[in-house]
Structure 1
């Protein structure tokens, strides 16, 4: 039987010579994506930290009386600044936003993020992923610079602007997947994709303390000016340095170009088969990916948007301590996500496990272990040391799933296809595309998966605001218990119903799915 990751040359009995990885075009692309997603997550989380400085908790509104938890006394570590408002330069505005308003604003980004996942994946496959990844970051960066103006105009304006930022960023991950379908040799997929995707955790790790420092030193508006400027600078470099496919890259070596194109083989080629919508909609492995990513994203987005608030209102860390401790977990998540990609590729190269087994093991470990640690956070009470330790370990071990469910879509459907498409999904009601276009399953599927996976980003901050409106330990405990339960459900569902083999609906016309896991 033929494993789904055997290259085209291996199937034909030819020997494949792997060119050096150092300074290669494909690893340079991974590094640029890494920096790009670091910027993307910096643009995404800046409001989470800035919110602590933007909100005036001593305003005249009665709802803000007792806006911090009185259950947890300030420790010796935080006693110098507990219950104090973060210092801001003179003239910097503050706003009387209650927890529900804050949750709504933190979730606004994901309202826009929902709408461009499927179109982003579709158009990236047809027009080239580099244009959409670079353009999405550039548009979001420009809007980020306008954030202080929108906040001054009112909550509705800020909500709309954050939604537009999500609209711009929604194309980035599908565009990345569309590009890797052309660039990533099958036996290097895990490490290339985890290196590039790990930029998200690295961006959160850098953005949290940096935005806290900028907030404290220059005022919260400077956070958005700095993050937006960094995004614009990266976009300029991106458009200069990258190409959509190996054969159009001006600086790639002939040896590397041939290696990539020949390794991907028919998985990267186009053909005239038309994909029926019904088999795709009824695909059990595809739904396993969708549901599991929704569950994993619930915990990730909950912590991404709520950690600074938890550190402020419950553990009473000041702004600089808050931002550093909120960032600490993402350093471990970044390292573990990269290491998991390397380990997964090694297991496949040595044929120790099948693709399906590798994806299931890494997904189960990357969801269940963090879930147990989130439960421990709920039981840590007022101990800042225990809470930070368990949160750090939870997000660190969560990085393991990067080599599991988060790249499974390129296993089950890596190929190009020409087809008439009927999209009938969440917020996309019977939109029929009446022309046949060249596109990639991988980018398109990631668009569908991320559309569903973004739903937790919309709901989690809102539910967090409801559960924690009284700023009690019980309320925050419920946030962590809910996230843990959702993660465990996702791990079990994926273990039962996922697959790592190329699906029949993603194969070329008349080609049979001969790989078994």
Structure 2
């Protein structure tokens, strides 16, 4: 007897035995929601991401203290203008190296969600997990200075390193490769996850379809859109304190709450973005439409607000509000372009996300180089020209994704085989 297992263009599986469709398991009607294993894994991943970004951010934040002192003197958060000549560029370079490491973390998570996230819950589960990175930046900016001033800068590493060890232990104990191997998951939840993902599991290892990937416009549009969006994000991360300092002569690096406020807003909106994406899916919006809607919401408003900054510089409150909102709205794209690899190539999502995110974070190197060029040329119009360039770059990537982005499994990512019974 022959059983043909074929993936349809939309990624669904059709089973035929003797020319007749077989019965497929329907997901259980009642499954655990927030108090479930899959949400527990999302929150554990959230705190692991928190540790990942916090430990990366510590380097750039404590660098001034490490350079200015050899006896743990508490000089954290000095402005870039207070650094010795040449150090500011090195500081950005070092921070950029640590930001680029995040690509590997993203890739590993996509392998996890490939087997744990039902398609109608991918937005919220991935957003919960990814928002931990934003919370890490917020927390370090908020309390890093307090810890350094009261205990010395090495204790910033000790404390957040200890949190990382706790997260690692929780990961080893509670996180498993898939629902089948998890010892404490209930049968209804296991059935629900497996029945929604059964067509995405690869039965055997296959080589990467390199030619298909290189020729794939949906893949290129996803990667380039992620790159241009990260350009916008890194503009906020690197230049927000410098802009406030240069325009208003206020050094917000000494104000932990003010410098971390945009990331608190970003963390909140990032969590809500996933809920919005899955809500739209529940209202019968197509997956590709949802991905493009949330990506647009996470790109156009922030890019527009940053372009408006030079025109509201007469008001400190308006400027800080625009900066906070523009940085805060950016994570709306998390359940959009950033998880699109799970849609177009679930079998290769881990590799694609690690590669594309690593590629995207190259903007952490490019942004300070380009920004420094504009600001050194003309102090008055440099900010305006740099913000307009960031707007144009973000818009270019978004247009590519809107035109060429897809959310169905691509031909090169499908698996077709014949099994003899």
Query: TM-score, normalized by length of structure 2?
Result: 0.84
Match of 1:454 in 2: 361
294-303 or 281-290, which moves further after superposition?
Answer: 294-303
Match of 1:490 in 2: 397
Distance 2:372 2:58 in 1: 18
Does the CA-based 8 Å contact 1:5-1:187 persist in structure 2? no
Q: Residue 505 of structure 1 aligns to a residue in which SS? A: helix
Match of 1:234 in 2: 167
Does the CA-based 8 Å contact 1:273-1:508 persist in structure 2? no
Matches within 5 A, 1:275-290: 275-290=208-223
* TM superposition shift of 1:503: 0.4
Structure-2 change in CA distance of 1:474 and 1:251 (3 Å): same
Does the CA-based 8 Å contact 1:34-1:196 persist in structure 2? yes
RMSD between aligned residues: 3.3
**Structure 2 runs not aligned, ≥5 long:** 1-7, 16-20
Match of 1:361 in 2: 293
* TM superposition shift of 1:270: 2.1
Given candidates 100, 103, 120, the residue that maps to 2:89 is 103
Q: Residue 501 of structure 1 aligns to a residue in which SS? A: coil
Structure-2 change in CA distance of 1:42 and 1:112 (3 Å): closer
Structure-2 change in CA distance of 1:93 and 1:376 (3 Å): closer
**TM-superposition CA deviations, 1:94-129 (whole Å, max 9, x none):** 998447532333233444665xxxxxxxxxxxxxxx
Match of 2:5 in 1: none
* TM superposition shift of 1:248: 1.9
**Structure 1 runs not aligned, ≥5 long:** 57-86, 115-165, 416-440, 512-517
Does the CA-based 8 Å contact 2:79-2:253 persist in structure 1? no
Match of 1:16 in 2: 27
Distance 2:301 2:204 in 1: 42
Structure-2 change in CA distance of 1:94 and 1:320 (3 Å): closer
Does the CA-based 8 Å contact 1:341-1:403 persist in structure 2? yes
**TM-superposition CA deviations, 1:340-376 (whole Å, max 9, x none):** 211211222231x211111112112211111000112
Structure-2 change in CA distance of 1:222 and 1:309 (3 Å): farther
Count of equivalent residues: 402
* TM superposition shift of 1:49: 3.7
Does the CA-based 8 Å contact 2:374-2:385 persist in structure 1? yes
Match of 1:394 in 2: 326
* TM superposition shift of 1:393: 0.9
**TM-superposition CA deviations, 1:205-241 (whole Å, max 9, x none):** 2221111323444444433333333223322332222
Q: Residue 19 of structure 1 aligns to a residue in which SS? A: coil
282-291 or 197-206, which moves further after superposition?
Answer: 197-206
Distance 1:309 1:222 in 2: 26
